[in-house]
Structure 1
Amino acid sequence: MKKALITLIFICTLVISSVPAYAAIERENREWQDETIYSIMVDRFFDANTKNDIDVNTQDPLAYNGGDFQGVMDKLDYLKDMGFTAIRLTSIFDNTDGGYHGYWVNDFYKTDEHFGSLKTFKKLVQEAHKRDMKVIIDFVTNNVSPEHPWVKDSSKRNWFNEYREISDLNNQDEIKNGWVNGLPDLNQDNPEVKEYILDAAKWWINETDIDGYSLPEVNYVPESFWSEFSREIKKEKENFFLLGITAANSTVDLDTYKSAGIDSITDYQYSGNLRNVFAATNQSFSPLNDNKVQKPEMQPLFFDNEMTTRFTRDIVKNKHFPGARWKTALTYIYSTPGIPVVFYGSEIALNGGEIPDNRQPMNFRTEKELIDYITKLGELRNQLPSLTRGSMEMLYEKDGMAVYKRVYQDETAIIAINNTSESQNVTLNNDQIEGGKELRGLLKGDLVRSKDDRYDLIIDRDEAEVYVLAKKSGINLPLIGSLIVVYVLFAIFIIKIRKRRVR
């Protein structure tokens, strides 16, 4: 009986392994272009430790609301399950009173007491790494709080640029030397300032084992500083990531900062194009074809962040259902060259206007439909190398209906997005995709077989599908044979058990 049981288990394993896989196995040597980032404003995410609730007022959008490191730690599995492979935290450094957002830095070597201790933050990083998730934190280099001890220290007067407000955001001299919102502007050309910032940045890497920095208002700091910063910082840890966050209303030459060693730079113009295309139906995808940056696979793709109104606000203004628009929008950034950066609350279509309305507390007690959809997208992005490393070719595009191809090695993915108000039918020919095969839908389960070397795709409105090209499936004789063997062995197993009971 024991031998029969072992044989049965072996055959079952054989049968399971004979089922065709629809996706590549999880990749080794993951690169940053393979990541999917969830962006968190710590104070507004989740309050798990009420002992940190100092001066907390959840009714005041300009006060601390209670989110902390423990709250992020407690939700790591929630994020991991949705397919996110990295988290980005807004500034966690000690801030002056009211600096819930983290941008009024008072001490570069301390965590904000409202968020938790350095020990707790280290544990957060460790727990993320246990889940194979990377951690990026904001590192503010442009300014400090008006109450920072340096401001009152006469010996450090030359640590700051002379006071002047910025009146023209397109004037490079003004934005690199002016005081943003009255915040003391650091003089990065001063060797002492430069050394201090570099030492602090290195300290956080070596002390906490973080994986990257996001750099707020990166274009307000001279490129020469970034060249040295990136060169020195990347010596501290292999594959350390630098994400430049440009000021929202600035016109920036992105390639200039990439040449200075910044790996990835936010492009608000492209983000605006994304918002315009997906906030309503029947919008042409053509504005999205103008992304001419170096290494587009490293470009952060986002709809909103802590400095913008919520994308949901655009959708509501257009009188559309947020869930439908978010689904097609996320499908696009998850399946085109670039790194998706999803702002907390997008998975529940959180709404919000200008700052601070866009920074409302996260709500974990909501319906799960959009969360389930993001989870499936994340699964596919993590399993299909073609979605993160493949070439990109638009096969069809018209008024909100798009079909494009991603190819990596022997894997071909076809993505169809119907962001129109009607069902759409698109035919792909032998010049666009190899004939005689079939397209297996992994998002919705659609199956399209080649007929006369053509593929007829029928996509309902507000829907999308991610196909992989595969050989035509037919009667799987080996699988059927294996199943017969299993049934026979199982019958023998049951007969032997009954005979033993009779004895």
Structure 2
Amino acid sequence: MNVNLKKWVVTVLLISGLWLTTTQNTNAEPNGSIHNESIYDLLVDRYFNKVVSNDVDVNAQDPNAFAGGDFLGIIEKMDHIKDMGFTIISIGPIFATETYDGKRILDFNEIEKRFGTPEEFQELIKVAHKKGMKIVVGFPLNNYSENHNWSMDPSKKDWIVKTENGVMQVDLTNPKVQQALKQTIVDFTKKYDIDGVNFSELQGAPISFVNDMIAGIKEVRNPMYAIALEESDANFDTHYSNQLLVDFREAFKNTDLPSERIASTNDNDLLMIDQLNTERFTYFSALENMFPPTRIKTAMGAILAMPGVPYMSYGTEIAMNGQVPQESHQVMNFRVDEDITNYLKDINSIRNKSETLRSGKTELLKNENGYIVFKRYSDKETFIVVINNTSATQRIDLSSDVVGENKELRGIFEQDVVRPDKDGKYKLVLDRELVELYQVTDRKGLNTSYIVAMCVAYLMFIIFLVIVWKKGKQKNSKQNN
């Protein structure tokens, strides 16, 4: 069979398969509400080095040094993030800095030259917007470099609380400091078309001051998200809980572990198994002698189906390991197995198409030691989500009171169809360490459209083979003559 024929056969089979497996498309694209988003967090320096002209004092062999990643590198690899279905790229602080993570800021008035130029940063934002994605920038409120330009200004002497081990700490209760920080971030959001700010180093900052900063950036444009990976009572668009992070990590690092504490998440909760300031999730699953990719897929499958805002650190898709920043802030490796990446593509594509999975109501049906079953529903559609994070095949029988009368359940990943038995029970059986989304649909008899499509496809295939055979016969006849 020649190459063109092979391509034609594959196309026919894909079209035929889609006739059966396509789920309801709500045509609901992520918009200006944070519960519609999913966040991919990275460090510019550790992602991808596109150009070497800005590699000043770069040493990729030193885990504490700059590695060369830049804005153009993120543009180069942005489709990798988009294909996984994430809608927000959080890129950390990008001001002039002494450290690769952007935290030891030297000057708020300059963009870190190793990351690129202001024009390249604006191009990054532009490309992201063209692809339907948003850019969030990190903004620490404290703990800058001791060489920060404020420390060189005698008039700002009373702004500084202390300088120790190369770190300058400012007084966040000082009205002048507050005004300077607010003006800095507001001016930045006006100059660059970013979509949000990830605030950090909140300790010592009065809630009223943080809320004033949040209000300031939200006056610039809408949406303008304000998030933080620190616990706070300020008016952030998301709610971060360190305990919830630990609960997710502890529930999924192995099988058959208590999962009751992750059962009641809300739309604005940040759902994650690690972050760039903690150990990698892989580190904990490896300590359990478990296979990290399977653990990650099960955990992220749950996170992407539960109420909340999914958050994932770069490198999770390749099971990046690490206990301390020098280990867990590795340069991203794109030449690895795509098993986790492909899984994220599949489940995130469903979430992005379904408003119900992003913000619908939730009814918990079962939650016991890693076996979690719940219903996500709205006026438009209903899903039964089954998370089997156990070491054995699990089964649950659901009544028509839960599923509805004269319905059937279609498994999106395993592609099984569950109809009620003679007692009206829907028996859902799922193998170990899997997450399945069952879409509730009206019960059908024979899938007439599918059968017709298959018949047409195979008829076209047979006709095509006949044409190829006849042309081959004619060609041979001419050669013989």
Same fold (TM over 0.5): yes
Tell me which residue corresponds to 1:302: 272
Query: Which amino acid in structure 2 is aligned with residue 228 of structure 1?
Result: D
Paired residue for 2:142? 142
Uncovered stretches (5+) of structure 2, i.e. residues with no partner: 1-15, 464-469, 471-481
Q: Distance in 2 between matches of 1:113 and 1:361?
A: 19
Q: Is the 8 A contact 2:26 2:355 kept in 1?
A: no
Alignment partners' CA distance in 1, 2:48 and 2:411: 36
**Alignment partner, residue 244 of structure 2:** 270
- Mapping of residues 40-439 of structure 1, within 5 Å: 40-96=42-98, 99-160=99-160, 162-163=161-162, 183-246=167-230, 252=231, 254=232, 256-257=233-234, 261-289=235-263, 291=265, 296-439=266-409
> Relative to structure 1, is the Cα distance of residues 199 and 428 closer, same or farther in structure 2, using a 3 angstrom cutoff?
same
* 1:196 Cα offset (Å): 2.0
Code of the aligned partner of 1:27: A
SS at match of 2:402: coil
Q: Indicate the percent of aligned positions where both proteins have the same amino acid.
A: 33
Q: Are the aligned partners of 1:402 and 1:417 in contact in 2 as well (CA < 8 Å)?
A: yes
Change in Cα spacing, 1:486 to 1:149, as seen in structure 2 (3 Å) is closer
Q: 1:488 and 1:457, CA in 2 relative to 1: closer, same or farther beyond 3 A?
A: closer
Cα distance in 2 between the residues matched to 1:138 and 1:428? 46
The letter of the residue matching 1:472 is R
Q: Could you say what the CA RMSD is over the residues aligned between the two structures, in angstroms?
A: 2.7
Query: C-alpha displacement at 1:101, in angstroms?
Result: 0.7
User: What is the CA-CA distance between 1:377 and the residue it aligns to?
Assistant: 1.3
Bigger drift between 457-466 and 21-30 goes to 21-30
Label 1:329 to 1:180 Cα distance change in 2 as closer, same or farther (>3 A): farther
Q: Does 1:465 pair with 2:466?
A: no
Structure 1: gaps of 5 or more residues: 1-14, 164-178, 247-251, 493-497, 499-503
In 2, Cα distance between the equivalents of 1:43 and 1:327? 26
Kindly indicate whether the alpha-carbon contact (under 8 Å) linking 2:371 and 2:387 is maintained by their aligned counterparts in 1.
yes
Asked if 2 retains the 8 angstrom alpha-carbon contact of 1:226 and 1:262, the reply is: no
Preserved CA contact (<8 Å) 2:419 2:426:
yes
Question: Conserved in 2, the CA contact under 8 Å of 1:214 and 1:242?
Answer: yes
Q: Supply the distance in 1 between the matched residues of 2:277 and 2:359 (Cα, whole angstroms).
A: 29
* TM-score, length-scaled by structure 2: 0.87
Query: How much has 1:144 moved relative to structure 2?
Result: 2.1
1:490/1:305 Cα in 2 relative to 1: closer, same or farther (>3 Å)? closer
Alignment-mate amino acid for residue 100 of structure 1: Y
Deviation at 1:284, TM superposition (A): 2.1
- Report the CA distance between 1:437 and its aligned residue: 1.0
- Is the alpha carbon distance of 1:155 and 1:478 closer, same or farther for their aligned partners in structure 2, counting shifts above 3 Å? closer
Task: Provide the rounded CA distance (Å) in 2 between the counterparts of 1:181 and 1:377.
Answer: 45
Q: Does the 8 Å contact 1:142/1:221 carry over to 2?
A: no
2: CA distance, partners of 1:244 / 1:376:
28
SS of equivalent residue, structure 1 residue 67: coil
Separation in 1 of the partners of 2:164 and 2:430? 48
Instruction: Give the TM-score, by structure 1 length.
Output: 0.84
The CA deviation at 1:423 is 1.1
For residues 264 and 208 of structure 1, the distance between their equivalents in structure 2, rounded to whole angstroms, comes to 23
Kept after mapping to 2: 8 A contact 1:27/1:383: yes
Letter in 1 for 2:60: T
Q: Counterpart in 2 of 1:501?
A: none
